[in-house]
Amino acid sequence: MTPSKRAAREPRRPYHHGNLRRALLDQALATIRADGVDGLTLREIGARLGVSRTALYRHFADKRALLTAVATEGFRTLRQQLVTAWEQGGRGDAAFYSMGVAYVRFAVANPAHYRVMFGGFVDPQAQDPELATEAEGAFQALVDALATLQKDGAFHSDETVLMARYVWALVHGVAMLGIDGQLRDQGGVEELMRYAFERLRTGIRTSTA
Amino acid sequence: MTPSKRAAREPRRPYHHGNLRRALLDQALATIRADGVDGLTLREIGARLGVSRTALYRHFADKRALLTAVATEGFRTLRQQLVTAWEQGGRGDAAFYSMGVAYVRFAVANPAHYRVMFGGFVDPQAQDPELATEAEGAFQALVDALATLQKDGAFHSDETVLMARYVWALVHGVAMLGIDGQLRDQGGVEELMRYAFERLRTGIRTSTA
DNA sequence: ACCTGAACACCGTTCAAGT
DNA sequence: ACCTGAACACCGTTCAAGT
């Protein structure tokens, strides 16, 4: 009846879909956010977009390829948030902590999306070049920040990539514990992050040991 | 023809299966190890055991319950290996490192099993009491070791659980990176573990900062 | 080129029925 | 109690056919 409804049920629109690939990706993301990765079915995605359930295969080779694209987008977003935190935080020690918080916050705010990125749904090896590029880009944001802090003499001058892997493993671990609900007590994630970064800087061994 | 074949195709064995629950669990573990979690189908498990595909429901409520049991067994094994590493290592600082290595080694040696434990396949909250017990037991092994090292004055006397979460997050992160193939260069996991535990003790900040 | 509907070979799960 | 076979409601994917 209403004009908006008319557009929604318009039966004689030929096919096409503006940008179907983009719409499929967005719908996949929304479904994953709502129902988790297991709740994602290609048929439902098509149905929600008013498109045949095989239309998707014009844009993605298979379900795995769709998930790879979802993961790629996740790494792109993550890198942006890391870079923003670093730059807006002043590119110093405080900004380094902000990056860690931004990382964990992304994971906790988008747990299902984060699992697609790291849950073994996409080929571990970076078979997909775009995925590899974005994943390396996110990691590089951390490497760059650490290199700056090393140049300023704030951090030890160990091999930067090794140090970056160490920090990455830490925030990745905190994020996973947060997602798994193992830090369920109120403010558990934030408390652990504060503690982790303080001890990350100073170590857990006593000076007398 | 051979006696062994006769036993395999014996048609008039009534039903039962000795300990079907145990056999189902073992078969699930073997399948997961070979084909990953996605490759696990209840029908194939039944077929491999020469049992109807619905026999499983006499022992597990559904597929999720089977995976929960798999995860529970994983935590039990993990705890045993952590305790063994700690005790055989001499319950000191070197043993603490051995625990970390044992943890990561378990994950890397059993990647699919490890993913069942932490990949969101089982209820994040510990709905299953047995799973909760075993998961807490594995964590407690780390807490106990840290408490000893604190009592000996080797480590800072921060809240032990918080420190344990910090260490857990770190080894968990290293394990995940190792499983995801992100430390692909030869000896990448071992190198990262050595570096991580050295810096875990002493921190990454320079003393002049 | 892009999309469709029917069809294929799978799933997990239920249920009446057998011993 | 424990197990079975048939059936149900789903999947991802293929493919000949339409515009």
Task: Provide the CA A169 to C1' C9 distance, Å, integer.
Answer: 42
Q: How far apart are CA B191 and CA B194, in angstroms?
A: 5
Of A177, A81, A67, A76, nearest in space to A116 by CA: A67
Chain A residues touching B179 at Cβ < 8 A? 120, 124
Task: Provide the CA B38 to C1' D3 distance, Å, integer.
Answer: 27
Q: How far apart are CA A79 and CA B199, in angstroms?
A: 25
Mean pLDDT, rounded, for B91-115: 96
Residue B178 is predicted with a pLDDT of 93
Mean pLDDT, rounded, for A84-89: 98
- Reported as a pLDDT band with limits 50, 70 and 90, residue B208 is low
Residue B125 is predicted with a pLDDT of 63
Mean pLDDT, rounded, for B72-76: 96
**DSSP labels for chain B?**
--HHHHHHH-S---S--SSHHHHHHHHHHHHHHHHTGGG--HHHHHHHTTS-TTGGGGT-SSHHHHHHHHHHHHHHHHHHHHHHHHHHTTSSHHHHHHHHHHHHHHHHHSHHHHHHHHSS-S-SS--SHHHHHHHHHHHHHHHHHHHHHHHTTSB--S-HHHHHHHHHHHHHHHHHHHHTTTT-STTHHHHHHHHHHHHHHH-SB-TT-
**C-alpha dihedral, B39 to B40 to B45 to B47, nearest 10°:** -40
Which secondary structure element, helix H or strand E, spans residue A172, and what is its range?
Answer: helix A160-179
**Mean of all residue pLDDT scores within chain B:** 88
Inter-chain touch A162–B120, beta carbons under 8 Å: no
Q: Say if residue A86's pLDDT is above 60.
A: yes
Q: Say if residue A67's pLDDT is above 50.
A: yes
Inter-chain touch A165–B204, beta carbons under 8 Å: no
Question: Chain A residue closest to B196 (CA)?
Answer: A166
Nucleotides of D under 7 A from a protein CB: 2-6, 10-15, 18-19
Query: What global pTM score does this model have?
Result: 0.90
Residue A207 is predicted with a pLDDT of 62
Inter-chain touch B177–A155, beta carbons under 8 Å: no
pLDDT in tens, B48-59: 998 989 999 999
Nearest nucleic acid nucleotide to B51, CA to C1' distance: D3
Strand D within 7 A of B5 CB: no
Question: Comparing A14-18, B33-37, B76-80, B152-156, which segment has the lowest mean pLDDT?
Answer: A14-18
Query: Are the CB atoms for A102 and A138 separated by under 8 Å?
Result: no
Of all residues in chain B, the percent with pLDDT exceeding 70 is 88
